[in-house]
Every structure is written in structure tokens, then in C-alpha cells.
Amino acid sequence: MAIRKIREIGDSCLKKKCREVEKFDSKLHDLLDDMQDTMLLANGVGLAAPQVGILRRVVVIDLGEEDGILELVNPVIIHTEGSVTDTEGCLSVPGKAGEVTRPKKATVRAFDRDGNEFEFTGEDLYARCICHECDHLDGILYVEKADSVFELSKEE
Ligand code: NI
């Protein structure tokens, strides 16, 4: 496993529409392992492959100590409910946060690292995270959707 460099706003990788994963092979497993390490080291809740310069539809989300890491390959949001406006940030937009309106609940259909299809429903933070990370796969950063974006002070 290895830590990969996180691309920051202005990098062309973050503007591209990513391609679907076709092979569920060791290269994909290495990418997922590296993305997990990179996200955890950076204290992120989620990370999408284009953020480490890989233009494929791959996402990892940290569901917390009990539930571990959610891996989404070729995710598609199939259902959303409600709407909540709250603060979010992005590892690719360091030092900033913004107010973004997202669904309260989001169900995603995806594949695991071995190519098995499954569905996952996230609420609140995890619904927000699923939508934020899936946007990355289409080259969209939250700052394009935010009502407002502000600088974080050092203490935050
Ligand atoms: Ni992000």
C-alpha cells in the first residue's frame, strides 16, 4: 500500500468525467488500498479516484470505526430523499468549506472490489458524502454547487 498525492483544485484531473472500471483485478485492489490509506492519513471522510489522478469511477468512504470503509466501484445514485443544507469540505480544496444543499438520504448501486453488485443507503453525512464523491467522478467540485464558500481558520 502507498500514499498517493492528492490533486488540488486547478488540476485538470478534477475536471474530467471518469471512465467505468472494466477489470476487477489486482490493479484495482491496489488503487482501493492506496485510496484508503491516502484518505485516512489526510483525515478525509471520502476520496474519489480522480483526486489521486486516476480517471476511473472508484470511491472510498470512511463509515467510522464500527462500519469500516465503503468501497464503491462504478457507483450510480439510484434514489434520493429529502434535502439538507450543511457545511462540507474537500481534500482537493484545502483550507476551505462551503454550504451545500444535498439529499438527506441517498441510495447508491455499485460494485465491490471483486465485481459483486450491491446497494447502500446513506443518511445525512453519508448521503452528503456519496453525492460529493459521485460528483467528483463527473468532474464536479462542491464549490461549483455551494451557496457560499469560506476560508477555514487555522483552529478548524
Ligand atoms: Ni471532494
- Read off the pLDDT of each residue in 124-135 and give the average, rounded to a whole number: 98
Question: How does pLDDT run across 59-91, given as a tens digit for each residue?
Answer: 999 998 888 999 999 999 999 999 999 999 999
Catalytic residue, from 133, 144, 151, 155: name it.
133
Task: Tell whether the model's pLDDT for residue 1 goes beyond 90.
Answer: no
How far apart (Å, rounded) are the C-alpha atoms in residues 122 and 146? 21
Task: Tell whether the model's pLDDT for residue 156 goes beyond 70.
Answer: no
Q: Which domains does the chain have, with CATH numbers?
A: 12-151 (3.90.45.10)
CA 77 to ligand 1 centroid distance, Å? 17
How far apart (Å, rounded) are the C-alpha atoms in residues 54 and 144? 21
CA 140 to ligand 1 centroid distance, Å? 9
Ramachandran region of residue 68, left (φ > 0), alpha (ψ -120 to 50) or beta? left
pTM of the entire structure? 0.95
Yes or no: say if 133 and 72 are a contact pair by the CB < 8 Å rule. yes
Does the annotation count 133 as an active-site position?
Answer: yes
CA 89 to ligand 1 centroid distance, Å? 7
Question: How does pLDDT run across 5-50, given as a tens digit for each residue?
Answer: 999 999 999 999 999 999 999 999 999 999 999 999 999 999 999 9
* Cβ-based neighbours of 118, under 8 Å, separated by 6 or more: 109, 110, 111, 112
CA 66 to ligand 1 centroid distance, Å? 23
